[in-house]
Amino acid sequence: MTKAREFILAPDPDDPRLVERCHGTDHDGAPVTASVPVERPLTLYLNGQEIVTMMTIGDYPEYLAVGYLINQNMLAADDRITAIDFDAEIDVIVVRTEGETNFEDKLRKKTLTSGCAQGTAFGDVMESFDEVELPPDAVVRTSWLYAISKKINTHPSIYLAAGAIHGCALCQDDRPLLYMEDVGRHNAIDKIAGYMFLEGHGPIDLGPEDKLFYTTGRLTSEMVIKCVQMRIPVLVSRSGFTAWGVELARRANLTLIGRAKGKRFVCLAGQERIIYDADPTAVADEPAAQARKGGRHE
């Protein structure tokens, strides 16, 4: 398959649907104008069943809808989608499949998670978790980590234009391939999962086995579960960990790297995949004030 170029898909900070200008005052009472991300509801149906209403910035609704269903175990890799109907006027998207579906039992077990905005997880989301076998021969080089972090943090984005948003990226070696943003990091990862499902059968290699997933948000159980379900062996964040996220990563043999800022990072699971091929002293560290605040997306 053809090797993918950098940033096949990336945020568009110039899209007027995604950012608004709001007027107010600053700490001195002087008038100011601020750019803020748009937040809107999106109600998802699977065939005739209403599944969930998500809060999202509204770009790539098809990828978000399909990725959500995949990461909630409501679509399988061999399911055939016959249509995706999006109505922007009423903020509704319907995913239609070849076979009938009924998720009333799963919806009864819906619980609110730690994700920003309207993250949800279902009581049986762990059904297939222990069945996933991540490739043991996958590697991550420290030179890749440094290059990816720099490329993502300097690429034009809604965060740089307006803030108050999370980002996720699918990477291969030192190249970011898919970069998505949203008000919740779970939405951003779902968009990438949806793109991989819908577009990953073409000439570009989007198979998960040799990929790395980068997120600006916390490494919670939810992020670990989604990454494992997507069969991606390495998960990296500039933010920190939760204890259950670390426990699940170790259980799944996922390489979990957090607090990746400048030349620094901490790995709490899957350390055997790391190849230390870069000199940390040659990498510029982040200013202390930025590091204390947790970086650009928190």
Q: How many Cβ atoms are within 10 Å of 131's Cβ, its own excluded?
A: 6
Q: Which residues of the chain have pLDDT under 50?
A: 111-122, 289-298
**pLDDT the model gives residue 295:** 45
What is the amino acid identity at position 223? M
Pairing of strands 175-182, 166-172: antiparallel
**pLDDT the model gives residue 173:** 96
CATH topology classification for 140-293: Cytidine Deaminase; domain 2 (3.40.140)
Report d(CA 179, CA 155) in Å as an integer. Answer: 10
Helix, strand, or coil here: 171? Answer: strand
Pair 231, 209: CB distance under 8 Å: yes
**CATH class for domain 40-123?**
alpha beta
Pair 181, 167: CB distance under 8 Å: yes
Least Cα distance to 121 among 240, 224, 269 occurs for 224
Least Cα distance to 248 among 222, 272, 213 occurs for 222
Task: State the sign of the Cα–Cα–Cα–Cα dihedral 113, 114, 119, 121.
Answer: negative
Please, what is the Cα angle at 80 between 72 and 106, to 5 degrees? 25
- Give the list of residues 6+ apart from residue 122 with CB closer than 8 angstroms, or none: 72, 73, 106, 107, 109, 110, 111
What one-character DSSP code corresponds to residue 215?
A: E
Domain boundaries defined on the chain: 40-123, 140-293
- Give the list of residues 6+ apart from residue 176 with CB closer than 8 angstroms, or none: 6, 7, 10, 148, 151, 152, 155, 169, 170, 214
This prediction's pTM? 0.88
User: Radius of gyration (Cα) for the chain, nearest Å?
Assistant: 19
**pLDDT the model gives residue 48:** 86
